[in-house]
Each structure stands twice: as structure tokens, then as C-alpha cells.
Amino acid sequence: MTIAAETPAPPARVRGRVTRRLLHNPLGVIGGVLLLIVVIAGVFAPLLAPYAPTEVHFETPFQQPGTVGFALGTDDLGRDILSRVFYGTRASLEVGALSVLFAVVVGVPLGLLSGYWRWLDALISRLADLMLAFPFLILAVGLAAINGGGLTNAAIALGIAQIPTMTRVVRADTLRLKETDFVLAANTMHAGPWRILGQHVLPNAASAIIVQATVIMPVAVIGEAVLSFLGLGIQPPAPSLGIMLSDAQQYLFRTPWPGIFPGIALALICLGFNLFGDALRDALDPKSTR
């Protein structure tokens, strides 16, 4: 009883250390704050946006930023840029989160299986190699063309394209953890493979999975923008930062602003994830001295 009280549970201590390290990294804090702003903008888009994203004002097209009623101006159909940026950010985050979820749900079990059983490894690793034989963008464009447009289909296409890298990360960690003493100890206690994978390997591979997720997220966000820009992702009139940029390109010579704000939003999302992801990787790495 007293012994248990004197030694606090390790996970809580580890978590405290990670948070402390994150807070001591200025770039990580900046990334975290950016992410917070972006997520709030996306989640509360319906509350924050002054207009509906598809609401047109034919009498006031091409308004400059700073116009009364339209803080960031309007586009060719008189749609409010600010509202569309809010909803576009929301769509970007939705696609990003969905494709990360997809890559995790499919990629992590595949990685665990291929790391644990050699005969499965031959099959799964060959499949991953095959998928990696296609350039990422070509794979995403092809999958999006097969699936058809729309937010969910774009997310699935981008998620599938990310599965092989996630599988590789988890496989490498499983291979490493399989040889550790605590797994060998569990083995001697007749723990089944599922119990070992679920209770011993997976929790210890969690930090690698989280870091990989922060790598996937900005790639998926830009991927969505690219697919939508090319006309293969989210379909108009639904708001997407990529579609806004593609629209803006057609009348850039008249007013540049509709082409500037969606790009800034995209850059902030990706910068947030890149900074926070880098800091998280440093904080989770027990070998780093920072």
C-alpha cells in the first residue's frame, strides 16, 4: 500500500514531462497557439462567419478588404471572403482529420501485424512498397478520380495514399518492441499475441503514431487544397481553400485579395502543424536533451 503511494504511475509522469518540454520550446508554443486559433476558426465557423459561405451578393462583387460588412472583401459573385475562409478552414481540417483517422485505422493494425508475424510482413510490406512506387500526388489524383469528388472521397483518397508510410512507422516500432524485455516477460507468462500487441506494443508505439499523424495532417490539408484546386476534390459551390484559389486565379488581374487570404489560411494551418509536430517529436524523444 505504502509502496504504491510512494511511486506515482509512470504514464502521468511521462505526460507531465512531455508537456513541460513542449512549453519550454518557443517554436512549439507558437505552433500550438496557431493550431488553437485555426481549430477554433474551423470548429466555430458557423458562429464566427458573418454570412453563409455560399450566400451571393450580386450587387457588391469584387469589394476591397476593409469594406463595411465585408472585412476581407468579396469575390466575383459577391460572396464574403472572410466567411468562405472560415468554412474553407473547417473543410481543410475535416479532410485532414478524416484522412489521418483513415491512415491510423488501416495503417496501424497493418503495421502491428507485419511487425509481429514474419509471413504477414512479406505480404504487407510488398503491398506498401507497391503503393509507394506511385508518386504521392499521382496516387491521390488517381484515387480521387476513381472515387469521384466530394469531401469524404477526397479524405479517403488522401488517407489511402498515407497508409504505407504509417504502416512502415508502426512496423519499425513493433519490430523494436518485440525484442524488449517486458514483451519477452509477457511471452513467458503465456500472454497471447493479441494481448501483447494491444497492451504492450501499441501503447509504446503511440508516440511514434502521434508524431506521424502530425506529419500526415499538413500533407493532407495541402493535398485537399491541391485536389480541389484541380477540380478533383471538394466540388463547388461548397467552400474549400483550394477552390477559392482556383476561382481567384481567373480574376486576379481585377483584384488580388480573393487569392491571398485563402493562401494565408492554408499556410497558417500547415505552419501550425509543422511547428507543433517538430516540438512534439523533440518532447517525446527520450534521447533528446532539450
Partner 1 sequence: MGRYLLHRLWQSALTLVLASIVVFIGVRALPGDPATAMAGEEADPAAIAAVRAQLGLDDPLPVQYVKFVGHALTGDFGKSVRTGTPVREMIGATLPVTVQLAVFAMLVAVLIGVLAGVVAAVFRGRWPEWGANGFSLFALSVPTFWLGILAVLYLSVQLRWFPASGYVSPFDQPLRGIYYLTLPAVILGLTHAAVVQRQTRSSMVETLTADFVRTARAKGLGRAAVVFRYGLRNSLIVVTTIVGLQLGGLIAGAVVTERIFSLPGIGKLTLDSVFTRDYPVIQAVVLVITAAYIVINLLVDFLYTVIDPRLRVSGRTR
Q: Interface with partner 1 by CB under 8 A: which residues?
A: 129-130, 133-138, 141-142, 145-146, 148, 218, 222, 225-226, 229-232, 245, 248-249, 252-253, 256, 259-260, 262-263, 266-267, 270-271, 274-275
CB of 156 to partner 1, least distance (A): 14
Cβ closer to partner 1: 33 or 252? 252
Cβ closer to partner 1: 56 or 251? 251
Cβ closer to partner 1: 80 or 247? 247
Cβ closer to partner 1: 70 or 273? 273
Cβ closer to partner 1: 199 or 288? 288
CB of 159 to partner 1, least distance (A): 17
CB of 131 to partner 1, least distance (A): 9
- The distance of Cα 268 from the centroid of its chain, to the nearest Å, equals 13
Cβ closer to partner 1: 109 or 263? 263
The DSSP line for the chain is -HHHHHS--HHHHHHHHHHHHHHT-HHHHHHHHHHHHHHHHHHTHHHH-SS-TT---TTS-SPPTTBTTBTT-B-TT--BHHHHHHHHHHHHHHHHHHHHHHHHHHHHHHHHHHHH-HHHHHHHHHHHHHHHTS-HHHHHHHHHHHH-SSHHHHHHHHHHHHHHHHHHHHHHHHHHHHTSHHHHHHHHTT--HHHIIIIIIHHHHHHHHHHHHHHHHHHHHHHHHHHHHHTSSSPTTS--HHHHHHHHHHTTTT-SHHHHHHHHHHHHHHHHHHHHHHHHHHHH-TT---
C-alpha–C-alpha distance, residues 130 and 164, integer Å: 9
Cβ closer to partner 1: 145 or 206? 145
Rg (CA), the chain: 23
CB of 247 to partner 1, least distance (A): 11
CB of 130 to partner 1, least distance (A): 5
Cβ closer to partner 1: 66 or 148? 148
Return the C-alpha torsion angle 10, 11, 17, 19, nearest 10: -160
CB of 221 to partner 1, least distance (A): 9
The dihedral region occupied by 67, where left means phi > 0, alpha psi between -120 and 50, and beta the remainder, is: beta
